[in-house]
């Protein structure tokens, strides 16, 4: 079933996936994403040692026969040498309002895309290849936590993956009802 942008927006609003859905042409960006319980979804994380901060945003692009999941990542840190403003974003990135994480202005904005109906492995692969491998994201490799069994995990990467998977599933469910 192919949905128009307006039909897609109506279904997402009915599913209460966000406090507001911003529309730009065939792009829908979730502002104030919500959990299934209707509470604000945590979209910010900060590295304990480097103070690098990431904000996550989600959107959907309705293309003729396919719906794409867009994941916007805002990166902030203490480096004041470069800060971006909304005027520096181009194309689809302009639809995403920059998340001003805590007290720093964004230094980078990354936009990932993949089919909404892709599986969890494809989503993980997209995050690995389009985000986690970037030189600017190297700090993610030092965000490690050890559990009671002594097993280490890259908690910031895991957070991004889990939030993305959760939202992908909510969006898919909203559009399949």
Average pLDDT per 10 consecutive residues for the chain, totaling 177 residues: 83 93 90 86 84 88 88 80 62 61 64 93 95 92 89 92 95 88
Q: According to the model, what pLDDT value does residue 83 have? A: 62
153: which strand partners?
145
Give the global pTM. 0.86
Q: According to the model, what pLDDT value does residue 126 have? A: 95
Please state the domain extents for the chain. 5-176
d(CA 84, CA 107): 6
Residue 88 CA: distances (Å) to CA of 21, 109, 136, 168: 22, 10, 18, 28
Q: According to the model, what pLDDT value does residue 18 have? A: 93
**Contacts (Cβ under 8 Å, ≥6 apart) of 98:** 74, 84, 85, 86, 89, 106, 109
Rg (CA), the chain: 16
d(CA 27, CA 148): 43
d(CA 29, CA 50): 29
Q: According to the model, what pLDDT value does residue 14 have? A: 94
């Amino acid at each position: 079933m192919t949905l128009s942008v307006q039909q897609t927006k109506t279904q997402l609003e009915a599913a209460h996936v966000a406090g507001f859905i911003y529309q730009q042409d065939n792009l829908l960006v979730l502002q104030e994403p919500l959990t299934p319980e209707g509470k604000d979804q945590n979209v910010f994380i900060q590295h304990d040692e480097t103070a690098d901060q990431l904000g996550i945003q989600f959107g959907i692009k309705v293309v003729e026969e396919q719906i794409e999941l867009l994941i916007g990542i805002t990166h902030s840190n203490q480096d004041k040498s470069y800060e971006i403003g909304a005027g520096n974003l181009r194309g689809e990135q302009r639809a995403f309002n920059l998340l001003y994480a805590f007290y720093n202005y964004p230094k980078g904005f990354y936009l990932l895309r993949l089919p909404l109906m892709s599986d969890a492995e494809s989503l993980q692969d997209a995050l690995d290849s389009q985000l986690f491998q970037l030189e600017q994201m190297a700090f993610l490799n030092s965000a490690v936590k050890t559990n009671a069994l002594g097993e280490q995990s890259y908690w910031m990467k895991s957070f991004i993956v889990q939030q993305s998977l959760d939202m992908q599933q909510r969006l898919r469910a909203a559009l399949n009802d």
